[in-house]
């Protein structure tokens, strides 16, 4: 660990759907991906929600319900161990809307694309925890209005959360690690370029080279549930 600490004070980890794939959560792109069965424009834009809220709610209600049947995998547990034991700065930025990082125990975590288990009332602008189906009749626990609650998910065309905090962390990172993301969606896909430009070592862990693979110093190909524990063990020993 002393050697790691001398090399890296500050780490930023970015995770994507591939992180949770070994837990049985569907990824977006690829043969069985969520975007193979659904058009993004139908379920993941503010326009889609205005046009057909029932369809959008059904899509997210089903994904929320699935969370009850999945568990964090060895990769999530390894990142939680890193969080608990790494004495330097660490920020885990996830694009995932599942709750597997926190269920594994990660604390220095932010959900840049929102969370399935949170709702957002468009009438009073409050955000709050949510479990079970949301559906159109959902009532805001804050203002009591019906029909104004939407999943607290960042849809296409909307600004991801906490970009300032993420940018600050990327600017000062010595090590940037991207896990299980295709690199198809910005701004997350551009984090590697920011981190690298500012001098961070950049490591990618993914089943296949991502779209931004050339920007990384090193790419490790394989399953996150196997490669992440190995990488964390390397860093902490
Ligand atoms: N271990 C590691 N990587 C894996 C695994 C695994 N077990 N299984 C799949 N992968 C890789 C795939 O090869 C792919 O490159 O994970 C990546 C998943 O890519 P996407 O499905 O595109 O998911 P992600 O990059 O998280 O998508 C970004 O797109 O639609 C949006 O908002 C959604 O947050 C999401 C964003």
What confidence tens digit (pLDDT) does each residue in 66-101 have?
Answer: 999 999 999 999 999 999 999 999 999 999 999 999
| Structure confidence by residue, pLDDT tens digits, 124-178 | 999 999 999 999 899 999 999 999 999 999 999 999 999 999 999 999 999 999 9
* Cα–Cα–Cα angle for 102, 193, 82, rounded to 5 degrees: 30
Beta bridge mates, 220: 205
Q: How far apart, in Å, are the Cα atoms of 144 and each of 9, 129, 137, 141, 147?
A: 46, 15, 11, 6, 10
| Nearest residue to 132 via CA among 45, 25, 57 | 57
Q: How far is the CA of 224 from the centre of ligand 1 (A)?
A: 11
- The predicted model scores a pTM of 0.96
Check if 113 is active-site.
yes
Q: How far is the CA of 95 from the centre of ligand 1 (A)?
A: 9
Ligand 1 pocket member 16 (CB < 6 A): yes
Ligand 1 pocket member 207 (CB < 6 A): yes
Name the residue of 20, 21, 101, 231 to mutate for ligand 1: max ligand atoms within 8 A of Cβ.
21
Ligand 1 pocket member 223 (CB < 6 A): yes
Structure confidence at residue 34 (pLDDT):
78
């Amino acid at each position: 660990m002393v050697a790691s600490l001398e090399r890296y004070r500050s780490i930023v980890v970015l995770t994507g759907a591939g992180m949770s794939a070994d837990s049985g959560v569907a990824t977006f792109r690829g043969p069985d991906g969520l975007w193979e069965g659904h058009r993004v424009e139908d379920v993941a834009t503010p326009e889609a929600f205005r046009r057909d809220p029932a369809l959008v709610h059904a899509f997210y209600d089903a994904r929320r319900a699935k969370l009850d049947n999945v568990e964090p995998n060895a990769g999530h547990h390894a990142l939680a161990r890193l969080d608990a034991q790494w004495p330097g700065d660490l920020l885990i930025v996830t694009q995932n809307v599942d709750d597997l990082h926190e269920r594994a125990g990660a604390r220095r975590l932010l959900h840049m694309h929102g969370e399935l288990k949170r709702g957002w009332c468009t009438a009073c602008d409050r955000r709050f925890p949510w479990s079970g189906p949301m559906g159109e009749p959902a009532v805001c626990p804050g203002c009591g209005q019906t029909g104004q609650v939407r999943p607290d998910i960042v849809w296409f065309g909307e600004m991801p959360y906490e970009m300032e905090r993420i940018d600050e962390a990327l600017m000062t990172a010595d090590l940037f690690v991207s896990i299980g993301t295709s690199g198809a969606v910005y701004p997350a896909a551009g984090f590697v370029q920011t981190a690298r430009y500012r001098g961070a070592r950049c490591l990618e862990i993914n089943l296949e080279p991502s779209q931004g693979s050339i920007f990384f110093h090193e790419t490790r190909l394989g399953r996150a549930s196997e490669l992440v524990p190995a990488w964390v063990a390397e860093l902490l020993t």
